[in-house]
Structure formats: C-alpha cells, structure tokens
C-alpha cells in the first residue's frame, strides 16, 4: 500500500473511532433489532429482502443521527460527570459543529428513506425522533425524573414502525411490542442512575433515586419488568408463534417475573443488578425468537 494511502486510511480509521461512540452502537443495535423484529413478525424475509435492507438502513441512519444530536445537546452535562467526560464531544476529540451537522444529515437521510418506503412507517419513525430529541432530551430530561418514562416512548417506535410497515396499519401486537420496549427502558436507565446517583446530582439532572429514593426506584424497575414480560408474551402469542418457541419465551418470562417479584418484595441493589443483566438478555432473545418464527 502506498504511504500516502496508508496515512489517509489511518486518519480515516482514527476519525471513525472518534465518531462511532457518538451513535451508542449497542443501544442503536438493540433498537434496530426491535424494528426488524416488528417487520419480520409479519413478512418472511426471504421474499422481501429489499424491504428488509431499506428498513435496516433507514432505522440505522435515523437512530444514529438522533443519538448524535442528543450527544451534542448534552455535551455540557457530559463534561461534568466523570462517567461521560471522556466521550468524544466533552473531551474535545470532535467539534460540536461537525457532530450536529452529521447528526441532522443522518436523521434526515433516514427519514427520507422511511417516508419513501411508506407514509405510515415514516410517520412513526418521525414520531420516535420527536419524542427522543425534542420531548426527552431538549424538554424534559433536565426538568423531571419522569422524562425517561415519556421519552422512553421513542424506544418503542422502531418496533411499532416495523410492524406497521409489514401490515400497512397499526395493530395491537405492534402496540404491545412498543410497550414491551417502553417498560424495559427503566431497567436500563434507572439502574445506571442508581449507580451514578452522585454524578447525576452534580450535573443537576433529576432522577428517580434522587427524587423518590432508591427503594422506590428499585420497585419501579421491578414493576416495569413485570409489564414488559407480559407485553412481550402477548406479542409472541399475537404473532402465532409455534409452541416450541412460545414455550421457551414462557420459561424466560417466568424467570424474569420471578426476579421482578423478588425486587418488589425485597428491593436491593444486588437484586436490581441481577434484573438489569437478565432483562437485557431476555429482550434480545425474545426479539430473535419472534424474528426466527417468521422464517
């Protein structure tokens, strides 16, 4: 490889390593999985591969772009918190203007593809962006601990959008899928807010632990997981999943419910962390099983 090309490739790789964390790849990947699950629960991917690819691109661009916009908006509080101060924006590895321009460009590109594919699908994806960027990040996050509940609606939109794209309308299964994600979100966000309660307080971000106490927060997390499990079992039933897959989901859901009920009866940091780890694995497995059931 010529030295000039090698140097250019190295610079490009370095630049990519600075921008990649801005999309929160794990979070983006999970939301993308829910969108694909929603669509695959209605259509066999073998016969609709072009739509699957277009859906993947549109959701990836939209979710990544809106996440970048959120990171740009929150760069001031990220700089205050030790957990986030080394992120690309607060550490100065990338320029704010470049991030906001790229975030807007990716979001608009994803929305254009989504609306080109289908008006209903595009509208739901747009609704997700509005709840994520405007309602949660810009409006409520710095004002109320309940921001995560209302803003969490955005997390359910990819699954609902994918389901609506496959059917051409919104049905109760799509709504249940969205609710399953919405109820799962407190497990992730509130567990982090408990662990880093002092940092959130320093940044003046209201959280459930700082507003209502840790015991109350543990119970909210546990109750939310109960509703998440019930919603996702309803999804498995609604898509007509075969008994083998459905039985596995019942077993996993029963395990989640047992952990959640233990968290309601005797809340503790240890039980909450166990629930946090299991709920993430549970959600991923359920999405994969619902998707495979359509093949």
41-64 pLDDT, tens digit per residue, is: 997 766 688 999 999 999 999 999
Q: In this model, does residue 177 exceed pLDDT 90?
A: yes
Q: Tell me how far the alpha carbon of residue 118 is from its chain's centroid.
A: 22
Contact between 82 and 120 (Cβ < 8 Å): no
Encode pLDDT of 57-111 as tens digits: 999 999 999 999 999 999 999 999 999 999 999 999 999 999 999 999 999 999 9
Q: Which two tokens stand for residue 251?
A: 């077993």
pLDDT confidence bin for 154, thresholds 50/70/90: very high
What's this model's pTM, rounded to 2 decimal places?
A: 0.93
Structural domains of the chain sorted by starting position, each given as residue range(s) with its CATH number in brackets: 20-293 (1.10.600)
CA distance 252 to 250: 6
10 compared with 187, residue with greater pLDDT: 187
pLDDT confidence bin for 15, thresholds 50/70/90: low
């Amino acid at each position: 490889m010529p030295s000039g090309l090698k140097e250019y490739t190295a610079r490009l790789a370095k630049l990519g390593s600075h921008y990649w964390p801005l999309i929160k790849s794990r979070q983006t990947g999970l939301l993308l999985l829910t969108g694909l699950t929603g669509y695959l629960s209605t259509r066999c991917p073998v016969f609709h591969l072009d739509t699957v690819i277009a859906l993947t691109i549109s959701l990836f661009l939209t979710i990544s772009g809106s996440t970048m916009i959120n990171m740009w908006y929150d760069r001031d509080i990220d700089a205050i918190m030790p957990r986030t101060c080394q992120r690309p924006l607060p550490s100065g590895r990338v320029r704010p203007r470049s991030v906001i321009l790229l975030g807007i460009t990716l979001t608009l590109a994803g929305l254009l593809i989504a609306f080109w594919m289908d008006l209903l699908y595009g509208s739901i994806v747009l609704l997700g962006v509005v709840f994520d960027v405007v309602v949660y990040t810009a409006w409520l996050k710095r004002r109320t601990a309940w921001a995560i509940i209302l803003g969490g609606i955005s997390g359910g939109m990819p699954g609902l959008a994918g389901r609506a794209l496959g059917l051409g309308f919104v049905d109760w299964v799509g709504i249940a899928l969205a609710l399953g994600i919405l109820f799962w979100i407190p497990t992730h966000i509130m567990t982090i807010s408990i662990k880093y309660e002092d940092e959130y307080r320093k940044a003046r971000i209201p959280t459930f632990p700082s507003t209502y106490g840790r015991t109350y927060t543990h119970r909210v997390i546990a109750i939310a997981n109960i509703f998440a499990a019930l919603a996702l079992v309803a999804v498995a039933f609604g898509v007509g999943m075969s008994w083998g897959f459905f039985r596995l989901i019942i077993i996993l859901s029963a395990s989640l419910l047992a952990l959640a009920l233990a968290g309601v009866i005797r809340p503790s940091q240890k039980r909450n962390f166990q629930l946090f780890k299991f709920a993430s694995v549970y959600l991923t497995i359920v999405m994969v099983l619902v998707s495979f059931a359509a093949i």
